[in-house]
Amino acid sequence: MASSGNQVKASHILIKHQGSRRKASWKDPEGRIIKNTTRETAVSQLKALREDIVSGKSKFEDIASRISDCSSAKRGGDLGPFGRGQMQKPFEEATYALKVGEISDIVDTDSGVHIIMRTG
């Protein structure tokens, strides 16, 4: 097993859009909303949510469990520990650049747009 020294832990909130690789999610199995969501719309939604989290108005986990298009939503967005090479590159780089407890800016991957909170 890889030593945990080079692993990180993170939670994220994913919003899928027209450009996402898979245009369906647990809350939109038909992909009706996703197919009609532009990247711009997804980004502005996510920016507003990030404001609420950073200002303390909302909890990251609560928003993740309601809003995130990733199946990790049911764990409050928690992805658990991962090492390099396990996530899409932009996601990995953003996570490793954060300090524990910090929240990223908008991160684009093939899955959609994310904000990431490093938790370990």
What are the catalytic residues?
Answer: 12, 70, 88, 111, 114
Question: Could you give the CA distance from residue 118 to residue 40 in angstroms, rounded to a whole number?
Answer: 24
Please give the angle made by the CA atoms of 31, 26 and 73, to the nearest 5 degrees.
130
Across-strand partners of 11?
78, 117
DSSP type of residue 118:
E
Beta strands (DSSP E) in the chain are: 8-15, 78-82, 107-109, 112-118
